[in-house]
């Protein structure tokens, strides 16, 4: 499992000051692990901040040192790709509360032991606040763009709402400005699965030799289903059996889809901290830009100097088109330049990570 003990390649910054949090608490020290791709130009005008999704990390376009697999957005980011690293200086930081080198519940607390559940509850805005501090440390005042999908899209929206002068372009893919009840519900199922695992031990499992792998795996299995679509599951697996000719009349993974989900669940536990999963999903459940600002969404963005682009996918039922369209209409009503498009792709919410040529075109054109 990933923890603070793992030494990761890439950059790391300890924020110079304690980080104030939305909860009223402050956090110190705060470390952000980040990767960069491309070269920052002389007037520092070509920086693109990429915000990753819940289970993502800073290894966007380079091999992930934990899994050994290629980065999560190699389709999109690289030389000559839509987010062209020959043009742009791409920065991606592991979010606050995660477990890939940035400060999170697996990091050592004031007493030297891992925080566990004594880590303060954080919000999407807290994650963004930490990244703004990182940009300051890098001497970057303006971003050519901020780009994110899913939880990354929420961070992009939060940056544009709370620090409107930083990003010139805001690209939000498959996200929402207000977490809907259905998503809160699924996130709660995931957290309950972790907390119901006896090995969770109230969140203080570090150093006990036991950790809630079974709970985290179930959480991941549930979430994974929500990232797909009925048609992609049917096409990929149907009712096909897993390496057997007939049903076993037992509770083995008879079906391919069961075997696939079990694999997704168990492989996740080798790279993700269960408590980090609790904190990140909590941050998403709390996300509501209108509530945070006490204003209508149109008023939140009134006078914003940025250009926006919102993208949704027709098969995404987790962050459906209506969520993106609502943001786009609010921006439009605020007189802010905005484009919105619903792309057709069969892969559900995960479409933004997969090969959708039309998405490449939109991203490249918008940037």
Partner 1 sequence: MTPAAPGSLRPDLAVIAEHVEPGSSVLDVGCGDGELLAALTAKRCNARGLEIDAANVAACVARGLSVMQGDADTDLSYYPDKSVDYAILSQTLQTTRRPDLIVENLLRIAPRGFVSFPNFAHWRVRAALAFGGRMPVTKLIPVAWYETPNIHHLTIADFRDLVAERGIRVERSWFFTNGRASRQRLANFTAEHAVFLISR
Active site residues: 150, 316, 349
The single residue among 338, 347, 350, 351 that binds partner 1, judged by CB under 8 A, is 338
358 touching partner 1, by CB under 8 A: yes
Q: Give the residue with the Cβ less far from partner 1, 77 or 311.
A: 311
Site for partner 1 in 293-322 (CB under 8 A): 307, 309
6 touching partner 1, by CB under 8 A: no
What does each C-alpha distance from 286 to 162, 180, 184, 289, 336 come to in angstroms?
Answer: 16, 10, 9, 9, 26
Q: Give the residue with the Cβ less far from partner 1, 130 or 328.
A: 328
Who contacts 208 (Cβ-Cβ below 8 Å, separation ≥6)? 201
79 touching partner 1, by CB under 8 A: no
- Give the interface segment with partner 1, choosing from 29-37, 107-115, 278-286, 326-334 (CB under 8 A): 326-334
- CA-CA-CA-CA torsion for 40, 42, 46, 51, nearest 10 degrees? 40
The single residue among 51, 130, 328, 353 that binds partner 1, judged by CB under 8 A, is 328
DSSP output for 99-146: SSSSSSTTSB-TTSSB-GGGSPP--HHHHHHHHHHHHHHTT---BSEE
| Number of residues this chain uses to bind partner 1 (CB under 8 A) | 22
- Give the interface segment with partner 1, choosing from 9-17, 88-96, 241-249, 342-350 (CB under 8 A): 342-350
How many CA atoms are closer than 13 Å to the CA of 345, on its beta-carbon side?
27
354 touching partner 1, by CB under 8 A: no
Q: Give the residue with the Cβ less far from partner 1, 272 or 366.
A: 366
CB distance 144 to 88 below 8 Å: yes
- Give the interface segment with partner 1, choosing from 89-97, 144-152, 239-247, 355-363 (CB under 8 A): 355-363
Q: For 257-261, which contacts have Cβ atoms below 8 Å and span 24 or more sequence positions? A: 257/233, 260/236, 261/221, 261/224, 261/225
The single residue among 168, 199, 329, 354 that binds partner 1, judged by CB under 8 A, is 329
Q: Give the residue with the Cβ less far from partner 1, 278 or 289.
A: 289
The single residue among 333, 346, 350, 352 that binds partner 1, judged by CB under 8 A, is 333
Q: Give the residue with the Cβ less far from partner 1, 79 or 337.
A: 337
CB distance 190 to 212 below 8 Å: no
Q: Give the residue with the Cβ less far from partner 1, 127 or 330.
A: 330
337 touching partner 1, by CB under 8 A: yes
Kindly give the residue spans of alpha helices, DSSP state H, lying in the chain.
124-137, 151-162, 181-195, 213-227, 230-236, 256-269, 274-285, 289-293, 297-300, 321-333, 357-366
Who contacts 312 (Cβ-Cβ below 8 Å, separation ≥6)? 173, 174, 319, 320, 321, 323, 324, 325, 340, 341, 342, 343
The single residue among 72, 119, 340, 352 that binds partner 1, judged by CB under 8 A, is 340
361 touching partner 1, by CB under 8 A: yes
Q: Give the residue with the Cβ less far from partner 1, 200 or 347.
A: 347
283-313 per-residue burial string, b: 16 or more CB within 10 A, e: under 16 = bbbbbebbebeeeebbebbbebebbbbbbbb
96 touching partner 1, by CB under 8 A: no
344 touching partner 1, by CB under 8 A: yes
Q: Which residues bind partner 1 (CB under 8 A)?
A: 307, 309, 325, 328-329, 332-333, 335, 337-344, 358, 361-362, 364-366
């Amino acid at each position: 499992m990933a923890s603070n003990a793992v030494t990761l390649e890439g950059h790391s910054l300890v924020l110079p000051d304690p980080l104030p949090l939305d909860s009223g608490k402050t956090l110190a020290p705060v470390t952000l692990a980040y990767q960069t791709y491309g070269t920052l130009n002389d007037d520092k005008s070509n920086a693109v901040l990429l915000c990753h999704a819940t289970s993502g990390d800073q290894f966007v376009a380079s091999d992930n040192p934990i899994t050994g697999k290629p980065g999560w957005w190699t389709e999109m980011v690289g030389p000559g790709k839509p987010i062209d690293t020959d043009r742009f200086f791409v920065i991606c930081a592991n979010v606050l509360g995660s477990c890939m080198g940035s400060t999170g519940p697996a990091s050592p607390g004031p007493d030297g032991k891992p925080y566990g559940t004594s880590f303060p509850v954080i919000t999407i805005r807290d994650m963004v606040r930490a990244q703004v501090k990182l940009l300051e440390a890098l001497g970057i005042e303006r971003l050519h763009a901020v780009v994110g999908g899913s939880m990354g899209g929420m961070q992009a929206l939060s940056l544009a709402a709370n620090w409107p002068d930083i990003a010139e372009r805001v690209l939000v893919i498959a996200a929402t400005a207000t977490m809907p009840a259905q998503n809160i519900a699924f996130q709660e199922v995931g957290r309950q699965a972790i907390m119901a695992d006896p090995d969770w031990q109230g969140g203080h499992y570090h150093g006990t030799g036991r950790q809630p792998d079974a709970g985290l795996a179930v959480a991941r299995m549930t979430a994974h289903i929500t990232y797909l679509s009925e048609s992609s599951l049917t096409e990929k697996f149907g009712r096909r059996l897993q390496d057997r000719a007939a049903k076993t009349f037992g509770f083995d993974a008879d079906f391919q889809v069961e075997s696939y989900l079990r694999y997704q669940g168990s492989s996740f536990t080798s790279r993700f901290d269960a408590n980090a999963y609790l904190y990140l999903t909590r941050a998403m459940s709390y996300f509501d830009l209108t509530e945070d600002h006490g204003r209508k969404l149109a008023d939140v963005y009134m006078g914003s100097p940025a250009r926006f682009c919102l993208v949704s996918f027709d098969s995404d039922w987790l962050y459906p088109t209506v969520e993106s369209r609502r943001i786009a209409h609010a921006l439009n009503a605020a007189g802010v330049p905005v484009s919105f498009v619903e792309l057709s792709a069969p892969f559900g919410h995960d479409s933004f990570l997969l090969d959708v040529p039309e998405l490449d075109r939109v991203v490249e054109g918008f940037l």
